[in-house]
Amino acid sequence: MIRMDRRCLTVLQRTVLAVWPQEGCALLLGSAVGEGILCLTTVWPACNRWGAADFDLPWTSAQNDARDRNFVLDPREQLSAQRWCRSRSQQLIGVAHSHPSCDAQPSAADRQRGVPHQLMLILAAEGEMQAWWLGEDRQVRPVLIDVS
Ligand SMILES: [Zn+2]
């Protein structure tokens, strides 16, 4: 289960949907508060670096125009967030991204490129939001979202 308050939900929605019709993304910071319960406390806005000229990953360079169907985070941004977390007793618990033109199901690319043992939160443009846990085997399990 992932818990968040309404403030976090609003920040999350505004952050990842702001770049529509491109895919938006954000890092999810928080902590484990019990067995299988993660608490989201900070939404860290991140740029979708897919196809960026100065960010040449082998799998992004061929499809520069595909930021509406793909996203990639800058590892330097993840390091900054992790550094910020350390002094605040928080940790990187997952990544959120939007699906501007389809539902909130993880794509094959999401399962392939995601980081195992992390939360994957997907927001569809119509407002649907679903959370998933990515296993080592690249399979996803649905995670309950509790907004209070
Ligand atoms: Zn996706």
Distance 92 CA to ligand 1 centre (A): 19
Residue 87 Cα to ligand 1 midpoint, Å, equals 31
- Record the pTM: 0.91
pLDDT tens profile 33-91:
989 999 999 999 999 988 777 666 665 555 555 888 889 898 899 999 999 999 899 99
pLDDT at 127: 87
Domains of the chain, with CATH numbers? 2-147 (3.40.140.10)
30 bridge partner residues = 40, 91
Q: In what order do the strands lie in the sheet with 2-4?
A: 140-143, 129-134, 118-124, 91-99, 25-34, 37-46, 2-4, 145-147
Measure 36 CA to ligand 1 centroid, in angstroms: 23
The helix/strand/coil state of 146 is strand
Q: What is the pLDDT of residues 84-138, one digit of tens each?
A: 999 899 999 999 999 999 999 999 999 998 989 999 999 998 889 999 999 999 9
| 3-state DSSP percent of the chain in helix, strand and coil, to 5 | 20, 35, 45
Q: What gap in Å lies between CA 52 and CA 42, rounded to an integer?
A: 26
The per-residue pLDDT for 110 is: 94
Tell me how far the alpha carbon of residue 80 lies from the centroid of ligand 1, in angstroms. 23
* Gap between the Cα atoms of 138 and 109, Å rounded: 10
Q: Write down the pLDDT at residue 58.
A: 61
pLDDT of residue 59: 58
